[in-house]
Amino acid sequence: MAADELLAAEAATRGRPLVRFYNWSEPTLSLGGFQRLADARATSGVGGLALVRRPSGGGAILHGSDLTYAVAVPREHPWGASAQLLYDTFHAALVRLLRERGLAAAQHPGRESAAADQERLLCFDRRARGDVVIPAETADGHKILGSAQRRLRGAVVQHGSLLLRSPGPGLAAHHAGLDQLAAAAGTWEPRQLATAWLEAVAGSEESTGVVSGYVFESGSFLTARRDRLEAAAARFASPVWLGRR
């Protein structure tokens, strides 16, 4: 979370979008910005998991089987103008990528009542407009990608989680990952998938005239900002932040 906060500041300084892909060292439940900590702790299967709170909205995500990304966009950048535009830019690109591999991925139209979804702890049990799903026997399909944003003064940060593998027994045992839903479509190595996804984003309609491509940076700008990173990490690790609601 601290690294993503610095990513936002860096994007605002550079005046262009920055993307980070990452994974987790241990199974971790990340709560949405205003989800109640007590509700999470009272949920069967949460005990024993590491807990963090994101600054972004949306539902809780059980990390460890997913590819997590954060994209930071300056507020004055065209992608920063609308929450749905940034959401759709990354989600529609993944849909195209999966379809090229023969999967019937689609963006969900969203449920009629957002209020009912708020009662569901997990992001992957909710359906918002634009979520990426793979059709199933139920109308809501299997959700494999969800994202949420924190809109700051200088930049927008969008967090997202792509479910690569089925989480296995426990809290999210009912969720299916790409490995289970799309085994026939090939392997889903995270680095290759991230690269192909970025290529799809850069080649999208939403990028026309806005983003001409992407470059990978060797090393990390974070290493040059260790003091700020550690200070932000301490803030996000504090009981005050985790228990803010």
Partner 1 sequence: MAAEPRFAKSHEWIRLEDDGLGTVGISAYAVEALTDLVFMQLPDVGRQVKAGESIGEIESVKAVSDFYAPVSGEIVEVNATLPDDLEQLGKDPYGSGWLVKIRPADPAELEALLDQPAYEALVQSEQH
Residues of this chain that interact with partner 1 (CB under 8 A) are: 32-34, 55-58, 81-84, 87, 114-115, 117-118, 128, 147-153
In this complex, which beta carbon is closest to partner 1, that of residue 140 or of residue 179?
140
CB 202 within 8 A of CB 212: yes
In this complex, which beta carbon is closest to partner 1, that of residue 82 or of residue 238?
82
In the complex, minimum distance from the CB of residue 153 to partner 1, in angstroms, rounded to a whole number: 7
In this complex, which beta carbon is closest to partner 1, that of residue 56 or of residue 207?
56
Q: What is the 3-state secondary structure (H, E, C) of 99-128?
A: HHCCCCCEECCCCCCHHHHHCCCEHHHCCC
Q: Does 123 qualify as catalytic in the annotation?
A: yes
In this complex, which beta carbon is closest to partner 1, that of residue 66 or of residue 131?
131
Rounded CA-CA distance 162/172 in Å is 14
In the complex, minimum distance from the CB of residue 77 to partner 1, in angstroms, rounded to a whole number: 12
In the complex, minimum distance from the CB of residue 154 to partner 1, in angstroms, rounded to a whole number: 11
In the complex, minimum distance from the CB of residue 160 to partner 1, in angstroms, rounded to a whole number: 10
Instruction: Quickly tell me which residue has 């004055």 as its tokens.
Output: 76
In the complex, minimum distance from the CB of residue 5 to partner 1, in angstroms, rounded to a whole number: 13
Two structure tokens written together for 106:
């689609």
In this complex, which beta carbon is closest to partner 1, that of residue 196 or of residue 210?
210
Catalytic residue (choose from 123, 148, 181, 200): 123
Provide the annotated active-site residues: 123
